[in-house]
Amino acid sequence: MEADKFRDALKQVGKRVSELAQNITNEEQTKNAFIMPFFQALGYDIFNPLEFVPEFTADYGIKKGEKVDYAIIIDGQPQILVECKSITEELTKHDSQLFRYFGTTTSKFGILTNGREYKFYTDLDEPNKMDSTPFLTIDITNIKDNQFSEVIKFHKENFNIDNIVSSASELKYLNNLKTFLSENITNPSDAFLKYLVSEIYEGVKTQSILDTFRPTIIKGFNQFITERVNEKLSAALNTSVETKSEPISNEETTEVTPKSEIVTTPDELEAYTVVKMVLKDTIEPERVYYRDNRSYFNVLLDNNIKKWIIRYRSNSSRSSIEIRGLGNYNIETPLDISKYAKEIIEVVQKYM
């Protein structure tokens, strides 16, 4: 499945939801207008009852005739169960219903959706028992860039249980951590507040003391985040950048692109910033430059293309870096470049 086409297809579904949501009032309309087009974008034949089965029977214990809205059949077995709700409803109170269905079939994945929000579940905590929290949650009207690479794994052409499960665990706990931090940065719980206060205050942590420190903790978080963002932006923008090429040997020829056609993305600037941070104890930061073109993003030494350090490439399906003379490495985010600090320093030391 071509990643760009898939991204465009999902964006079209998201646009449809944004434009029509206010006119949809019940579950059946939600299915027809939003949910079925979503799974059609995932490559499934929504009109083939042997592949995309509506009202799939999922008996539970003494309860017979229990039905899940859809089951996706792959290799003759139900692999994905889909429970649908109206776009006018919230999903949290319905989790137990899909949980009940999950344990009665051979399905490995469950999806709970109201047409706008999609929650993806599996059985990481206990085999054949659906987890209480999803490993992936998306808003179809506002899918984040890093989520496209996860959703595309559910495309019919790409579907592979092992591949999805291998990343589901990290996704689940990473999302849980991000949710926890997001909630506690703006409104810290007493338990979280008590932990933080114990690190900076030696006295007795009474409720009165915690309440006194609450605005300070919130302010501290906000200042810390702002300062980190400003540091990255300052580091990235505080270096002169040459966009025209120098005379170089055939071995080091790079694509020369008119400046007007080059768009340097935030991820590319973040990659540049990470390299500068990695090298801060090896060379002066002012010696690290970048040059951008349509094929890849160069980070180099002394603004000399002959001294390139890494080449960063990114598209909708994956990101990677090429470290000069040492090979190519797939990465999830630009911050992962820091995992290769040793190799990056090794390259720079060869120029010194």
Domain coverage including residue 59:
3-179
pTM of the complete model: 0.58
pLDDT tens digits for range 26-64: 999 999 999 999 999 999 999 999 999 998 886 655 456
Q: Are residues 163 and 45 in the same domain?
A: yes
Domain boundary residue, one of 179, 197, 217: 179
Structure tokens that stand for 249 in this block: 């040997």
Which pLDDT band, with edges at 50, 70 and 90, does 254 fall under?
very low
314 Cβ contact partners less than 8 Å away, ≥ 6 residues apart: 265, 267, 268, 297, 320
Q: Are residues 130 and 211 in the same domain?
A: no
Percent of the chain with pLDDT over 70: 86
Q: Under a CB-based contact definition with an 8 Å cutoff, are residues 75 and 53 in contact?
A: no
Which pLDDT band, with edges at 50, 70 and 90, does 260 fall under?
very low
Q: Are residues 222 and 267 in the same domain?
A: no
Tell me what the pLDDT averaged over the chain comes to: 83
Number of domains in the chain: 3
Domain boundary residue, one of 215, 236, 257: 236
- For the chain, state the CA radius of gyration: 25
Q: What is the pLDDT of residue 249?
A: 40
Mean pLDDT, rounded, for 14-29: 94
Distance, in Å, from the CA atom of 69 to the CA atom of 81, rounded to the nearest integer, reads 8
Q: Are residues 137 and 196 in the same domain?
A: no
Q: What is the pLDDT of residue 287?
A: 86
Distance, in Å, from the CA atom of 225 to the CA atom of 290, rounded to the nearest integer, reads 25
CA atoms within 13 A on the CB side of 335: 1
Could you give the 3-state DSSP secondary structure of residue 90? coil
Q: Are residues 168 and 60 in the same domain?
A: yes
